[in-house]
Amino acid sequence: MAPVAPDVEEAGLFAPRLRAMTVGSVALISLLAFEALAVGTAMPSVARSLDGLALYGIAFGGPFAAGVLAMVASGIWCDSRGPRVPMWHGLVWFVLGLVLAGSATSMGVLVAGRIVQGFGSGLLSVALYVIVGQAYPEALHRRIFAAFAAAWVVPSLVGPALAGLIVEHLGWRWVFLAVPAVAVPAVLLIHPGLRAVGATTATGLPSGAAARIGWACGAGVSAALLHIGGQQRGATAVGLVALALAGLLVCAPRLLPAGFLRAGRGLPTVVGLRGLASAAFVGAEVVIPLVLSRERGLSPTAAGLVLTTGALAWSAGSWLQGRMPAPRSRATLPRAGLTCIAAGTAVVTLAVAPAVPVWVGVLGWAAAGLGMGLLYPSLSVLTLELSAPGEQGRNSSSLQLGDSLFAATVLALTGAVLAAGAAPGPASYAGTLAVTSGLALLGVVLAGRVVPGVPGIRAG
């Protein structure tokens, strides 16, 4: 690990040798987040304009599948050749996909562009994690990952509204075409700092790389089916979701750290906790607007503001964990974050009852957001701490894969449960929220296992 130079100690992320890389990395993360969120706002207009409703589901599932494959490929690439090459390839694929989608004259071309864009996003997201591990001193890892978290939160606040304004006043194509104008300069800012990131000494692909690519293809196709199935109804939905889950159960464990299914100490549990937290938060997030609008009578705007409190609290938690002294145990922040998520979603569950004031649920969701802010950066830091230099790419891709696959699974299952009846009621909402709280509570129980069981490691 690089030593902490005096200028870094004084200026932190904006020390002279890190300033451009920090700005470029955070800007790039923000663009990836904006594009992921903005497309949902623009797609109804896209489908009407291109007469492409039949391909609506694959326009979301295709990029997700491509991203799964790209995360695995990027991890292999980073470990064998360093992060510079996948970073530049990711930029090219990302920009090419955006231009293709933005200039599409048919829905099929737009879907192809979205798939290319998703592949580029997957390459970039893993490469950025490896760059952090190699270019930033360990003392700044919590701060840079806090900045990455904030870079995701801000687009969640303004992205959908901004995308709506772009669609309304400029046209849906500019949701895609405007992003490259910022993405290219962002990577150019990162490029000078990459000179300090040396190529690895590996002589070829890591052992088992070809098999991992094969399993990634299977997991990607299964994830796409899961996404598409979650948008269907009746027997079609059940069949697609069942097939997708079977595929994920076969393929995903082979892409995640050994011991993942039994919550093995160290990295397997770190990846598992990230997945559990993502599943809990996303599962609750899709239910809360329904509860507030259908059961408590809030307007869509008011329900959206409640979700905003969670995003703001997430940002606050990220900032807090990046500035507090290093905890005595590696398990402290993950356990605290998951406790906040479990307690917060449990409180939100109470707000389903008409006798409980809505503000109680708002406070609960803010607590859950705070927990995500404490948890996410700390797990990213732990992933790098527990990775040998030649394993940072593989382990970073595992962390992000677990996050994405857990979230996609819970979203599909939640959608299937809520769609099972003609009109979901308080019982189905409360049951779904209780399950999400239980997932976070399971994470609390397992949090101490992030500490490897070897001498010299601080116990949890």
* pLDDT value for 3: 44
Cβ-based neighbours of 395, under 8 Å, separated by 6 or more: 75, 257, 267, 383, 384, 386, 387
Secondary structure letter of residue 136 according to DSSP: S
* pLDDT value for 438: 92
The confidence band for 276, taking pLDDT boundaries of 50, 70 and 90, is: very high
Average pLDDT over residues 315-324: 87
Q: What percent of the chain has pLDDT over 90?
A: 21
What is d(CA 51, CA 55) in angstroms, rounded to the nearest whole number? 9
At the top level of CATH, which class does the domain 15-206 belong to?
mainly alpha
Average pLDDT over residues 363-389: 91
Residue-wise over 273-310: b if at least 16 C-beta within 10 A, else e?
A: bbbbbbbbbbbbbebbbebbeebbebeeeebbebbbbb
- CB contact at 8 A, 96 and 126: no
What is d(CA 109, CA 40) in angstroms, rounded to the nearest whole number? 18
Domain ranges of the chain: 15-206, 258-460
- CB contact at 8 A, 137 and 128: no
* pLDDT value for 453: 65
Q: What is the chain's mean pLDDT, rounded?
A: 83
Residue 147: pLDDT above 70?
yes
Residue 365: pLDDT above 90?
yes
What is d(CA 318, CA 143) in angstroms, rounded to the nearest whole number? 8
CA distance to 14, 132, 146, per residue, from 10 (Å):
9, 19, 18
The number of CA neighbours under 13 Å toward the Cβ of 140 is: 28
* pLDDT value for 120: 92
* pLDDT value for 4: 46
* pLDDT value for 8: 52
Task: Write the pLDDT tens digit of every residue in 178-218.
Answer: 888 888 888 888 877 776 665 555 556 667 788 889 998 99
Average pLDDT over residues 157-165: 77
Q: Do domains 15-206 and 258-460 have the same CATH topology?
A: yes
Task: Write the pLDDT tens digit of every residue in 212-255.
Answer: 899 989 988 888 888 777 666 777 777 888 888 899 899 888 88
Residue-wise over 146-172: b if at least 16 C-beta within 10 A, else e?
A: bbbbbbbbbbbbebbebbeebbeeeeb
Residue 419: pLDDT above 70?
no
Average pLDDT over residues 417-442: 78
* pLDDT value for 277: 94
Distance of CA 451 to the CA centre of its chain: 23
CATH level 3 topology of 258-460? Growth Hormone; Chain: A; (1.20.1250)
Which of 207-221, 355-369, 424-438 is the most confident on average? 355-369
Task: Write the pLDDT tens digit of every residue in 407-418.
Answer: 888 877 776 666
Residue 291: pLDDT above 90?
no
The confidence band for 336, taking pLDDT boundaries of 50, 70 and 90, is: very high
Among 214, 230, 233, 265, CA closest to 407? 230
Q: Which of 89-98, 393-402, 410-419 has the lowest mean pLDDT?
A: 410-419
Higher pLDDT, 40 or 81: 81
The confidence band for 439, taking pLDDT boundaries of 50, 70 and 90, is: very high
